[in-house]
Amino acid sequence: MLKVTNLTKKYGKMLAVKNVSFFVETGEIAVLAGPNGAGKSTVIKSIVGLLRYQGSITVNDKINKSIEGKSYIGYIPEIPSLFPLLTVSEHITLMAHAFGIKDYETEAEELLKAFDLWDKKDKFGSELSKGMQQKVSICCAIITKPKILLVDEPMVGLDPKAIRTMKNLLLKLKEQGTSIVVSTHLLDSVQDLWDRIIIMKDGEFVYSNTKHEIGKEDKSLEDIFFEYTEE
Ligand code: ADP
């Protein structure tokens, strides 16, 4: 379970995130939505531990920046950043070793094959297209068996087969009990995945609810988004 409590982030004097609180249950896929500049990336980077902030963030009851907390978190950034001189296989091995994952080879092979990367496994990071780099970045996060997975704009730049593979992976992780936060503008792309929506605007928390609750009113993600973000 992911719990964000009174998160506030300033960049210099600019207040980017204001006292935001929300939670994501175990085995839930939450969509973090909001207009440009709402503070979504800032929230995600705070959870991942890349920023200084005020407030409290816990993952399965551990502080996100503790060693145990960090070991629970997987992150797929919007822009992949691979090591130019490591091969695809070496990226996966590095992540598995860093997170103490044993016997990862079979899963690594399955992941690379699912993303059509198996024949590219000995290519260097610098030799990959943008889409391929993104797929490697996804494999790197999944191989660590995260209990909390943060995904920033997951579908942008992926081909249709990779989008389907990505969606299936998210559903599999959810079944295994991972709490997943997906930040995206492409609400259609996650219409068949989400369990909870969290809406931010102008750095503030606006709304959160589960599909189960909202479903009674038969609304799409887009309907809910506009309802809570338009004046
Ligand atoms: P979103 O992901 O919802 O588009 P961001 O979290 O990227 O929003 O940005 C929230 C606000 O913080 C915006 O006003 C943005 O200009 C500002 N911001 C983001 N990153 C920085 C930074 N590194 N330095 C200064 N301001 C930033």
For the stretch 187-224, pLDDT in tens is 988 999 999 999 999 999 999 999 988 876 678 899 99
Q: Which of 132, 116, 48 is nearest to 82 (CA)?
A: 132
With a Cβ cut-off of 6 Å, ligand 1 is lined by 11, 14, 16, 34, 36-42
Query: 11, 153, 229: which to mutate for ligand 1, most atoms within 8 A of CB?
Result: 11
Q: How confident is the model at residue 68 (pLDDT cuts 50, 70, 90)?
A: very high
Q: Which of 92, 90, 46 is nearest to 69 (CA)?
A: 46
User: Which fold does the domain 2-72+147-229 belong to in CATH?
Assistant: Rossmann fold (3.40.50)
Mean pLDDT of the chain: 95
For residues 3-16, one letter each, b for 16 or more C-beta atoms within 10 angstroms of the residue's C-beta and e for the rest, the string is: bbeebebeeeeeeb
pLDDT in tens, 4-13: 999 999 999 9
In angstroms, what is the span from residue 65 Cα to ligand 1's centroid?
21
In angstroms, what is the span from residue 18 Cα to ligand 1's centroid?
12
Q: Are 66 and 73 in contact (CB under 8 A)?
A: no
In angstroms, what is the span from residue 44 Cα to ligand 1's centroid?
11
How far is the C-alpha of 7 from the C-alpha of 46, rounded, in Å? Answer: 9
The proportion of the chain whose per-residue pLDDT surpasses 70, expressed as a percent, equals 99
Mean pLDDT, to the nearest integer, of 19-39?
96
In angstroms, what is the span from residue 20 Cα to ligand 1's centroid?
15
Nearest CA to ligand 1 atom 26: 11
How far is the C-alpha of 21 from the C-alpha of 57, rounded, in Å? Answer: 9
- Spell out the domain ranges in the chain: 2-72+147-229, 81-145
